[in-house]
Amino acid sequence: MMDHMEVFQTLGQNMRVLYDEPMADHTTFRVGGPADLMVIPENVEQLRQAIRLCRDASIPWYVIGNGSNLLVSDKGYRGVVIKICRNMDLIEKEEKGGRLRVRAGAGVLLATLARSVCDDGWTGFEFATGIPGTLGGGITMNAGAYGGEMSQILSGVTVFTAQGAIEEWPADRLELGYRKSRIQKEEAIALEAVMEFEKGDIGQIRETVRSLAAERRKKQPLEYPSAGSTFKRPEGYFAGKLIQDAGLKGYRVGGAQVSEKHSGFVINADHATAADIYQLMRDVGAIVYKKFGVRLEPEVRLLGEF
């Protein structure tokens, strides 16, 4: 069996890799220590090779997109981070029977793809124009906003399963629920997705995109690093409102803060560490539970040791 160093060297000879790569440079929170190795595959074959080598040498691996829903430990990650963002990003569009069919790679940026669909006068993707993740991350999280979500537009996804097979999963096998999917549950990797859209009124589409962007600028602390909504919406409540009603607006731990603008966002206000953010999330969860008896579940995914 190859040891870790041999695996890293083999990967380095066969694809783009970065050693001791600071994860702060790959997350929108702008925190996180180094990953032992970051692999940036150009195609499915490279991805498959990276995973096979990791598996054979019992090296942990983790797939990320744009890191916009991710909190990585200050200690980093002892293993291989596989980044699919702006790589594996082919886009094919086909018009058929008055509908647009788009096949796109997991590494395509969601906002870029959504904008290009909207600009051509197709409706249904307006909701995603302000979500800063990749298509792969968006499918895995069933990302959504303002009444729209990925489940409404997906016809199917090509996945790399945890068993190493490439399979086509039609939409009804994706088990898309509120910020969850079968891909997440089964630790599969989204490779490509097919989406369908109907023709819309271009004026109306532009107006929707414009007003959603204005709404985000007005309500969300986009001027600070964050990972969007930190907690999931508990059934029957809004996380931001519970946090605000618990008196936690502006609450700080080190450089991390509950946003003054939107209590559902934890922001990196001033050189926060991942430990600051994590502790703040725990404090907020405990205080909200004590006051209202409601458990807040993080929407943000954690990577590394906390």
Rule CB under 6 A: say whether 144 interacts with ligand FAD: yes
- Select from 136, 200, 240, 298 the one that contacts ligand FAD (CB under 6 A): 136
Which helix (H) or strand (E) segment holds residue 68: the answer is none
Please state, in angstroms and rounded to a whole number, the distance separating the CA atoms of residues 106 and 193: 7
Contacts of ligand FAD in 282-301 (CB under 6 A): 301
Would you state the structure tokens that stand for residue 69, as one six-digit string? Answer: 């829903």
DSSP label at 294?
-
Is 17 or 135 the residue whose CB approaches ligand FAD more closely? 135
Please state, in angstroms and rounded to a whole number, the distance separating the CA atoms of residues 273 and 96: 50
Would you state the structure tokens that stand for residue 241, as one six-digit string? Answer: 């409102």
The answer to whether the beta carbons of residues 53 and 96 sit under 8 Å apart is no
Please state, in angstroms and rounded to a whole number, the distance separating the CA atoms of residues 14 and 285: 44
Residue 85's closest CA among 111, 115, 60, 117?
111
Residue 82's closest CA among 132, 18, 32, 33?
18
- Select from 137, 148, 200, 240 the one that contacts ligand FAD (CB under 6 A): 137
- Select from 46, 226, 257, 268 the one that contacts ligand FAD (CB under 6 A): 226
Which listed range, 130-138, 165-173, 249-257, 289-297, lies at the site for ligand FAD (CB under 6 A)? 130-138
Which listed range, 58-66, 111-119, 207-215, 284-292, lies at the site for ligand FAD (CB under 6 A)? 58-66
Rule CB under 6 A: say whether 108 interacts with ligand FAD: no
Rule CB under 6 A: say whether 156 interacts with ligand FAD: no
DSSP label at 180?
B
Is 13 or 163 the residue whose CB approaches ligand FAD more closely? 163
DSSP label at 272?
-
Residues 6+ apart with CB under 8 A from 155: 101, 170, 171, 194, 195, 196
Q: Rounded to the nearest whole angstrom, what is the least distance from the CB of residue 43 to ligand FAD in the complex? A: 14
Rule CB under 6 A: say whether 84 interacts with ligand FAD: yes
Spot the catalytic one: 73, 229, 259, 263: 229
Please state, in angstroms and rounded to a whole number, the distance separating the CA atoms of residues 102 and 159: 17
- Select from 39, 40, 64, 280 the one that contacts ligand FAD (CB under 6 A): 64
Residue 63's closest CA among 49, 43, 47?
47
- Select from 46, 73, 129, 140 the one that contacts ligand FAD (CB under 6 A): 140
CA atoms within 13 A on the CB side of 13: 6
Is 46 or 287 the residue whose CB approaches ligand FAD more closely? 46
Rule CB under 6 A: say whether 181 interacts with ligand FAD: no
Is 37 or 222 the residue whose CB approaches ligand FAD more closely? 222
Is 17 or 189 the residue whose CB approaches ligand FAD more closely? 189
Please state, in angstroms and rounded to a whole number, the distance separating the CA atoms of residues 46 and 131: 28
Told to judge if 149 belongs to the known catalytic residues of this protein, a careful annotator would answer no
Active site residues: 179, 229, 299
Binding site for ligand FAD (CB under 6 A): 28, 63-70, 84, 106, 131-134, 136-138, 140-141, 143-145, 183, 189-190, 220, 222, 226-228, 301
